[in-house]
Chain A
Amino acid sequence: MSGFQAVAGALPGAPGGPDAPGAAGMSLACGHVSFSYEEARAPIPAVRDVSFELRAGGSLALMGASGSGKSTLLQVVRGLDAPESGAVLLDGAAPTDAGYAALQREVGLVFQAPELQLFASTARDDVAFGPRRLGWPEERVTSAVDTALDVVGLPPARFAERHPYALSGGEQRRLALAGVLAMRPRLLLLDEPFVSLDPGTRRQLVEILHRLKAAGVTLLLATHDVDLAWALCDELLVLGEGRLVAAGPWDFSPDGGRLLAANRLREPFFVELWRRLGRDPQRAPRNAAEAAEALS
């Protein structure tokens, strides 16, 4: 991965630009949030009375069967839909507080298949769209774009002037992610970011998210992939038919296992492996490197 060295310099704490994402993560709290879609016959409830907290710099996997309300919850958190009842607190601020709109702009949302939203004629212009909307001066936009392209492993020298539609599928997905990262989010919401990626790109994306997490960005990751959720997230939140089924640290007790199964989920691979090896599943490794270290 050619962008790897560049990334090390782009993250906070290292001699990088001022616009590396996530100078300090943002905390998130949802209190009794409900949302329904207006339909012709009757409103369809999508999120019902959901409450949870996510500390600044924390990482939370949002899981649940298809149609359980994950995407809707992310959009409500970003403020694209106003909750019918309840409130989304960002860094402890309520929607009625001064400065809430500014905080909302620091929440990045990566949609499902975000490459379908690319529109500009160069990669640079597409990534610059958000920063320009924030009214940043052009020098700051340029440095934010360069940093974001570096972070996602698309070095600007090679990619900035390319046409977005001339890139491969995996490159397009990472370009779309750069478009969100360039706005310097302190809370990053991702909706099924791994869907239909080849294994190589998937691995790159996992590494990018690991680095963002290490840089202090708060992560809320909606995914069906329990292995990646386990690899990336400290905590788990399960939705079922819009309701909160479970929230908190991963729990691999018999009760926890039943809860996962009831929501069409399963234990992560390394957790099952640890169980089969007669080890404590609660202390299972998060990835192959950790497993190798524990086993050697």
Chain B
Amino acid sequence: MKATIAQYYAGDSLLHRLDPRAKFVAVSALAVALFVRDSFAALAVYAAAAALAYVLSGVPVAWFWRAFRPLLWLVALTFVAQIVFAPGEPFFSFWFIDLSRRGLELAAYLSLRLVVLVLVGSVLTLTTPSMALTDGLAWLGRPLRRLRVPTDELALMVTIALRFIPTLLVELDTIMRAQRARGADFRRGGLRERMRSLVPVLVPLFVLSFRRADELALAMEARCYQPGAVRTRLHPLRAGRADAALLATTAAIIVTGLLV
């Protein structure tokens, strides 16, 4: 019940309605562009575009914050590492820390770039259901099928895995509660003790997962699933004018970023 890791925010914004393939291509292109040129001006252009996308998505700030919070450490680490290790003429020295103008600039630039990257990436995952995303990726990966890569099967695997993550988390929670009711304590003791205390949780969880996988495989076969067979889709992906507009806008943003 408490386990909400699926980041998708159900909504009906312009960005929600766009084709997942177009969104994925746009976000990937922007992510690459972010690393092509080191300039504050370019970063400002991309940051503005990311902020605009965020506003258009209609997702509450709290949701972005939840997606962003786990990465805060990474941003902080980047910032500190740059300040400490960046070259340049120090204007302030203490112990092994040399603060330089260049170092501060670099720290600010790299941290900001990371923030923009996360922002762009989370706009994609927050406005696209995981199933649509895997469908889109499967379509984009189709050329690989010539190399005998089973892209559709891989996509289905990813879809199923994503689908069962929340279920598994709920089950994990239930098993932990049941063992706690029998006196288990997952917070006490050293590392070894804590690892041992997980055995009563992990064994039932694995048994349950294997059983579920078996049942799911049987149920899929009973409903005529055949690996390798060409599957049609209930909701075929359809790209329209809005998607073309997205790609054109993204291209324009990237060009602007390269020129400023």
Contacts and interface: CB of A to CB of B under 8 A. Distances in A.
Given A37-B1, A180-B182, A119 B177 contact: no
A119 B204 contact: yes
Nearest to B181: A109
**Chain B interface size range:** 20 to 34
Contacts of A120: 200
Given A39-B4, A80-B180, A119-B199, A111 B174 contact: yes
Given A37-B1, A40-B4, A119-B200, A183 B183 contact: yes
Interface string B4-15: 100000000000
A101 to B, nearest CB: 11
Nearest to A109: B181
Contacts of A38: 2
A133 B204 contact: no
**Chain A interface size range:** 20 to 34
A153 B63 CA distance: 52
B162 interface: no
A160 B76 CA distance: 55
A6 to B, nearest CB: 23
Contacts of B175: 116-117
A120 B203 CA distance: 8
Contact of B208 (A80, A116, A129, A130): A116
A37 B203 contact: no
Among A37, A80, A117, the one with the most B-chain Cβ atoms within 10 Å of its Cβ is A117
A117 B199 CA distance: 11
Contacts of B220: none
Given A80-B181, A119-B199, A180-B181, 18 more contacts: A39-B1, A39-B4, A75-B177, A78-B181, A80-B180, A108-B181, A109-B181, A111-B174, A111-B177, A116-B207, A117-B179, A119-B204, A129-B200, A130-B183, A133-B182, A133-B183, A133-B184, A179-B182
21 contacts: A38-B2, A39-B1, A40-B4, A40-B63, A40-B66, A80-B180, A109-B178, A111-B174, A111-B178, A114-B178, A116-B204, A117-B175, A119-B199, A119-B200, A119-B204, A129-B179, A129-B183, A133-B183, A165-B207, A180-B181, A180-B182
